[in-house]
Structure 1
Amino acid sequence: MANKPLDMLQQIRRCLVLLQEARSVRQIHRLTGIHRNTVKSYVERFKHSGKTYAELLALPDHDLAELIYPPRHNHQADDRYLYLSGRLQHYADELKRPHVTRQRLWEEYLEQQPHGYRYAQFCLHLDRYIQQHEPTMPQVHHPGDKLQIDFAGDPLRYYDPVAHEWINCPVLVCSLPCSAMFYAEPLTSSRQEHLIPALNSALAYFGGVPRNILSDNMAQVVTKPSRYEPVFTELVEQWALHYRTNMQATRVAKPKDKASVENSVHIAYQQIYAAMRNECHHSLKALKHRVRELLEKANERTMTAYGKSRKERFLELEKEHLAPLPPKHFVYKHQAKAKVKKNYHVILGEDWHQYSVPHAYIGQRVKLIYDDDVVEIFCEYKRIAVHQRAFVRNGYSTIKEHMPESHRNYLLQKGWTPDDFLEKAHEIGPGTEEVVTRFLAAKAFPEQSYDACIGLLRLAKGFGRKRLENACSLALQGSRVTYRIVKTILENNRDKLVLPTEEQAPMLPFHENIRGKHFYN
């Protein structure tokens, strides 16, 4: 009997149902999308069977297929198969030899049988023979050797009461093949920024680090699949280096390479998903908590084949073979690219804060790798600067050694120091001194505010010390003060509108119409 696919049998059964409802060929074509000629051929075969539609529907798939697609008695095909079947073992053995391909074997076959099978049929019979006569070799797993990771095909979900919608959560499953101990966790997404913390949690759950981590060729882990030298993402490489483990990837389209985690996914379906099928959770945190509860039960459940639970086997066989965890878990680091500006700083766009690099790198493109605490700057894999992360928008983080020698010498020659600026400002007045103090305090590195201080003090030459002091005093009444604000006040003569103080107010001569302060008491 021909090996008809299941979807074909489903089409046949659907046609039978519609025919039983007295639908026409045209209606069946419109409802199913099956070509009318195909529907007509089905109807003819149904009639030749001698059975009613109801009787045909009651038949098992195998019997229905035999009835609708009877085996062909083609003597030429039988002769071809008899010849090929006698040489399938030879072809299977030859295929194991280096550089031998199916195409080559088929060409040699045609030399002996010019009217033999075409290439597709030849490969079909050969592959069937190999599957039937070459069973899969059992894999021996050593304790602590490998952790297999994969995402379950089906997500879990929770209901967001704010957005009024269901949120799907991919589920990461990690399995230790030797003991069959596994870990499962629903994530916000399968992206790297959520995958890496989940892997941290998995290793923390097992309490140690295996020698190898095996993944399929998911894009979050592998950038270039290869049977011999797969290329992993830079972030995953950093993660593996932090935990002192080795990354491995399965062969493409070879799920048996990670059979253990595939089995763990099925266990998760049976003992976690099924248990939660009627539950409704309203946050990812609640969903994770429930999964962890069911995960513990699954790992403590006795396995019939061993008479022990996964957790018991893990503690007996595998726990001691895991390497210890590092003192700190791996922190997900963000990455950004930038070009070094002429002021030998780069901008971290997320915070709009500038960090210095050695001035020799002006004009070059660099990579910033950062977390919540530290910003590292690399140029062609060489780390050229490290800064504590600052979140001051439009601020600067400058290391003096990064400045050009001419800049450092210029500062030394001029003798500029914060005390010098404060002394000169004090000579003008308290308002000016306060403005300079704020300028110096606004920058993490005082030298970055020197230009503003110089510009402010130079205003005294163009407008006079008295007007500068008045302008600074007026500017200090606002929420912020800058060089441009003080200059604008002077240019618009707003400093001249400052009301005189009580001591400066002129006294009017006394006369009988003047009311004293006692009048208002």
Structure 2
Amino acid sequence: MEKVRQILLFLKRDFSHRSIERETGVNRRTVRKYRDRFLESGLSYSELLLFNDQELNAYLNPEDKDKQEKDPRLLDLESRFSYLFSELRRVGVTRQLLWEEYIQEYPAGFRYSRFCELMQEQARKNDATMYFEHSPGKLMEVDFAGDMAHYVDRCSGELIACPVFVAVLPFSGYGYVEALPNAKLPQLLGALNNALSYFGGVTESIKSDNMKQWVTRSNRYEPQFNEMLVQWANHNNLNLLAASPYKPRQKPTVEGSVNIAYKRLYAPLRNETFYSLSELNSAFRKQLKVHHDKNFQRKAFSRTELFETEEKETLHPLPSTIYELKHYTKAKVQKNYHVAVGEDWHFYSVPWRYIGKQVRIIYTTETVEIYEGSKRIALHKRSYKNHAYTTDLSHCPENHKVIREIQGWNPEDYLSKAKKHGPYTYQYFQKVMENQRVIDQSYRSCLGLLRLATIYPNRIEGACKRALKGHRFNYLVIKTILENKVDLLEELPTLSQQYITPKHDNIRGAQEYK
């Protein structure tokens, strides 16, 4: 209204319309329109300058607001809004089509431009802009959560951090979440396959930000996508999109879904401990279902209901085969009958007789296959632990099998072996274990005792029985008894046993001592 007051002041001073245009920047036709409105009021410029903004605006826009609100055309259109917005969510339905149907039923209705304007105003009021921005089955947005999830490695007790992949269908808000071993492209492609399988179909397009796995060269208009990602998109018959650099608002739905993941998945599971990636993802799936089944705020339906009733049927069918990224390489089998695979430098075993042979390796995100010529000689589940070993016991020489088997033994394993030789052997093994401050220190003694048991299978029980009467319990005691055949000697009577003197003529009676 400041411009209007300036125009009033210049009109009061008899400035020309051209001069007022030059001073205020307001077009002279608009200045003339304002002047005519002021003159129609019958008030002087000085009187008009005393009015507040609201009163002054009433003279500039004399149309009766109540009359506009009571316009039967507007009342009719307002009664149609609920139907119009629900129809707009259906595939192929546009505002142009809705207006044509509307004008056929109500020929005296609003023209197309005013119809769209009123629809847009109503959308702002009831937060219905999503119907304009997203159509069912058109788009899937993906991203990685900023915060990692964790699980505990059972063997080492190490806390393993893993990135979390998030995908969402913007129309229904139906999403998919998966924790991954890492955020590299092979893992991303696997997660994308799992997301499409979870949704039960393929959208027309998929959008992400400019993460390096997605875009090799960012550009606002023509970004260059990773070649492997392009192959995946072609296999699934969908279009790749990328948000403009540093423009997260161009994929707001997945950004919001990441925040929802923190609240609906991370928070409820914060006090839980998981011991594998599969356990963690299983818990994520359960929490995700709970989230999907909850109604939207201020709405009487859930994401699941919206997806099942209006979006699922619009998805394109899944391809007959899942896209799988395969890597091919060659390696020479090392003396420890293992080969290194992948950028993780993880070692996988092959049968020991192939030591020194050249082998061909095919590996994916899930499996590792090793071939000698055309024959597959090994198949392993893929591991992502750096510089670690995956060994199949059937690949080991016989002497190595025993060693590897023993390496996994615990006290119960040793005691069960001892029990086969008898109760005294079992008790002696217990004494050996109790005699050590750290139980692991007794394992070598137990191994030695088991070896003696294989050499002296019929005497080990007797040797342990005799050794239990002493105060030292170790391997050397049993070895000494067996080598010196002490276990075969007849045991001498103990002091506790009553000794009876044999009868003969040289024994004096009690009367001799009176």
TM-score normalised over the length of structure 2 = 0.41
